[in-house]
Amino acid sequence: MWLAQVSFRYRRRDRYVIEAAEARLSPGDVVELTGPNGAGKSTLLRLMAGLTRPTSGAVTGRPAVVGYVPDRFPTGQPFTVAGYLRHMARVRGGARWEPWAERVGLDGFSDVRLRELSKGTAHKVGLVQALMAEPGLLVLDEPFAGLDRDTRDALPQIVTEVAARGGIVVASDHQGGLGTLDGVRPWSLRSARLIEHPPPPSPGLAAEDPLGVEGSPSAEGPPGEAELGAARGAVTVEVSVPARDLDGFLRRMRDDGYPARALTEEEVT
């Protein structure tokens, strides 16, 4: 699947939300898309899913079956959970939704009306309708937001399984939930530009200044080519932060364009 010079603006006089995005995705790729609020992540995901057409440029080679999970699942439909999922299973040609519903902890909600669901439970319904179709492209908009711990913990494994059978997975993420997976492609959006970062390097040098990262982006605007070049040859730093600050710290680093991730216990030097 290719993004070829994809640009998008909502109205003719608006600024471009996405400018000249270029990317190539192969079966099994997992992309984690970060960027500040309003950077255009949801917009790019909808363009990739084919729900929005680019203003210019093209998305080509999109897999035939696309699963899309919006950041807010629309609950205004007059269905119960089971009624909606049965309906979607028929639309999807008789897909099996029950095992997915069980896996994300939806059993027990079958007879509840969609409009009576909490945000997190509604999100699980969105996940199940996307997963049941065995999508060749799975697009997840903030998949970890609002999910309970068990489902959050299960999601990286689910993503790994989709990728293992050749699906492309693209997820916007403020929580760093996919950063622990091997081979995740870190993308970020800054000033309407899509930037692909080098994959997280294996843990190595510990810097004396914990935030003294070489190749740091300038305060204004996105990292330029030179900065990205510097980042490719950058040192790896190990930073200790209080556990309660971890999510916020990772989010800020990623929003600034660094492929930051938490180390596992075995990796800590």
Determine which residue in the list 19, 25, 35, 73 makes contact with ligand ATP, applying CB under 6 A.
Answer: 35
Q: In 3D, which of 219, 172, 223, 174 has the Cα closest to residue 197?
A: 223
Question: Using CB under 6 A, which of 21, 25, 31, 39 touches ligand ATP?
Answer: 39
Which is closer to ligand ATP, CB of 37 or CB of 264? 37
Between 1 and 17, CB nearer to ligand ATP: 17
**Which residue, 11 or 149, has its beta carbon nearer to ligand ATP?**
11
- Selected from 27, 38, 74, 224, the binder of ligand ATP by CB under 6 A is 38
Stretch that binds ligand ATP, among 33-41, 156-164, 190-198, 255-263 (CB under 6 A): 33-41
> Does 43 sit near ligand ATP (CB under 6 A)?
yes
Buried b (16+ CB within 10 A) or exposed e, 189-222: bbebbbbebeebeeeeeeeeeeeebebbbeeeeb
Secondary structure of 246-260 in HEC code, one letter for each residue = HHHHHHHHHHCCCCC
CA atoms within 13 A on the CB side of 127: 30
Q: State in angstroms the smallest separation of the CB of 189 from ligand ATP.
A: 6
Nearer Cβ to ligand ATP, position 29 or 142? 142
- In the chain, the amino acid numbered 43 is T
* Given 40, 57, 126, 222, the residue binding ligand ATP (CB under 6 A): 40
- 177 binding ligand ATP? (CB under 6 A): no
Across 132-155, b (16+ Cβ under 10 Å) vs e yields bbebbbbbbbbbbbbbeeebbebb
Q: How many residues bind ligand ATP (CB under 6 A)?
A: 10
From 156, 179, 178, 159, select the one nearest 167 (Cα to Cα).
159
Contacts of ligand ATP in 100-139 (CB under 6 A): none
144 Cβ contact partners less than 8 Å away, ≥ 6 residues apart? 152, 155, 173, 174, 175, 177
* Smallest separation (angstroms) from ligand ATP to the CB of 143: 13
**Would you say 121 or 188 has its CB closer to ligand ATP?**
188
Q: What is the CA radius of gyration of the chain?
A: 19
Residues that bind ligand ATP in the complex, under the rule CB under 6 A:
10, 17, 35, 37-43
